[in-house]
């Protein structure tokens, strides 16, 4: 009997069977089922209408069964209601998240504010997000991605965005420049040197800068936070509702007072319903992502993708050079 999880791939799917990947020469049919299921999961989540939500949510809210959620006691509730900190992030901050599918760890993601530097004439934060599959999943479908955002120090909008993606046989090397005076985003494919353009709104974000912009926004219970995220030559409207307050306990890191966030995505004014998400951010001035869940609705058997904040560290940053 195969030790691997069997997945029923006979259910209807939005990706035509003709576009499914060729079956790999694994030792058992179960390996092929897992391989195809992994490919389908990637296609639906990262290639269809939810990429902006996924990219932001894995950074904003880091889920495991070991995480404990509690209702706050009366004294704590008063403190949470009264607190109105000024959220911020710190140069040198690095957060590591464990990513899991149906409770099975499949990889790790890191988000680091690497330095304060110059991009053209702007003072910017250089923020990098990496994602890698673990050894087990890499045998089926290897992912090694890096996303780098250059975030304007004064406006917290994105000035420049870089993508390096290695996902199975798929490769992507892309840079995006945001020209707010012209209201245009310039997409340059570094693999074939083609350039495409996309109209943008004022204060548009890329998927990485959006997460940090969210952390800097004033937040209180009942708020509905909005931003526009530019990705894949589209402008997604992201709305995050701050609904409740809880107490979150994460192994090793301890206990946090936290806000429950329920974001959703609109494209062209129409709400996207391929996935839903929820998670918790700390109620202190750091607004750390603690616990998050993304549930794919388009294919029910895919289930939940989760992320848990595993480690938070502060590395010595490089300083902005004068002049």
Which residue, among 262, 266, 197, 261, has the nearest Cα to 229 in the 3D structure? 266
Complete DSSP assignment for 26-80:
-SSHHHHHHHHHHHHHHHHHHHSS-HHHHHHHHHH----TT-EEEPPPHHHHHHH
Residue 105: helix, strand or coil by DSSP? Answer: strand
Give the number of C-alpha atoms closer than 13 A to the C-alpha of residue 239, restricted to the C-beta side: 13
Which residue, among 105, 84, 104, 85, has the nearest Cα to 96 in the 3D structure? 105
The separation between the first and the last C-alpha atoms of the chain, rounded to the nearest angstrom, is: 67
309 close to 277: Cβ distance less than 8 angstroms:
no
Buried-exposed string 274-290: b where 16+ CB fall within 10 A, e elsewhere: bbbbbbbbbbeebbbbb
pTM of the model as a whole: 0.77
Can you tell me the distance from the alpha carbon of 46 to that of 41, in angstroms, rounded to the nearest whole number?
A: 8
174 close to 220: Cβ distance less than 8 angstroms:
no
If phi > 0 it is left, if psi is from -120 to 50 it is alpha, else beta; for residue 254 that is: left
Complete DSSP assignment for 181-228:
TTTEEEEEETTT--EEEEE--TT-B-HHHHHHHHHHS---TT-EEEEE
Backbone angles phi, psi at 216, to 5 degrees: -90, -10
pLDDT of residue 191: 96
pLDDT of residue 178: 97
pLDDT tens by residue, the chain, 323 residues: 333 333 332 333 344 444 444 444 444 455 455 555 555 555 544 444 344 445 555 555 544 445 665 655 444 443 344 333 333 688 999 999 999 988 889 999 999 999 999 999 999 999 999 999 999 889 889 999 999 999 999 899 999 999 999 999 999 999 999 999 999 999 999 999 999 999 998 889 999 999 999 988 888 888 899 999 999 999 999 999 998 888 988 888 889 999 999 999 999 999 988 888 999 999 888 889 998 998 888 777 778 888 999 999 988 765 554 44
**Domain locations along the chain:** 29-314
22 close to 13: Cβ distance less than 8 angstroms:
no
pLDDT of residue 24: 47
pLDDT of residue 290: 92
pLDDT of residue 5: 33
172 close to 164: Cβ distance less than 8 angstroms:
yes
pLDDT of residue 194: 97
Question: What are the counts of helices (DSSP H) followed by strands (DSSP E) for the chain?
Answer: 5, 16
Which residue, among 170, 156, 90, 80, has the nearest Cα to 123 in the 3D structure? 156
């Amino acid at each position: 009997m195969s030790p691997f999880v069997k997945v029923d791939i006979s259910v209807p799917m939005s990706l035509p069977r003709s576009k499914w990947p060729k079956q790999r020469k694994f030792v058992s049919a179960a390996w092929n089922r897992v391989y195809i299921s992994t490919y389908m999961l990637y296609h639906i989540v990262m290639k269809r209408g939810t990429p902006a939500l996924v990219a932001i949510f894995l950074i904003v809210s880091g889920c495991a069964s070991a995480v404990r959620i509690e209702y706050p006691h009366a004294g704590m509730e008063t403190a949470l209601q009264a607190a109105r900190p000024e959220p911020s992030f710190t140069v040198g901050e690095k957060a590591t998240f464990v990513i899991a599918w149906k409770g099975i760890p499949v990889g790790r993601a890191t988000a680091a504010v690497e330095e304060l530097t110059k991009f053209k004439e702007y003072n910017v934060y250089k923020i990098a997000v990496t994602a890698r599959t673990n050894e087990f999943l890499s045998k089926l479908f290897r992912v090694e991605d890096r996303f780098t955002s250059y975030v304007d120090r004064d406006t917290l909008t994105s000035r420049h965005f870089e993508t390096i993606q290695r996902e199975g046989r798929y490769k992507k090397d892309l840079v995006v420049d945001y020209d707010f005076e012209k209201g245009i985003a310039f997409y340059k494919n570094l693999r074939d040197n083609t350039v495409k353009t996309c109209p943008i709104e004022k204060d548009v974000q890329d998927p990485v800068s959006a997460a940090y912009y969210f952390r800097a926004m004033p937040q209180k219970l009942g708020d509905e936070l909005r931003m526009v995220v530019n990705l894949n030559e589209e402008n997604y409207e992201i709305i995050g509702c701050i609904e409740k307050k809880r107490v979150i306990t994460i192994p090793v890191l301890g206990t946090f007072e936290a806000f429950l966030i329920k974001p959703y995505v609109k494209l062209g004014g129409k709400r996207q319903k391929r996935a839903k998400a929820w998670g918790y951010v700390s109620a202190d001035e750091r607004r750390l992502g603690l616990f998050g869940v993304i549930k794919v609705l388009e294919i029910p058997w895919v289930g939940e993708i989760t992320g848990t904040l595993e480690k938070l560290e502060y590395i010595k940053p490089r300083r902005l050079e004068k002049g």
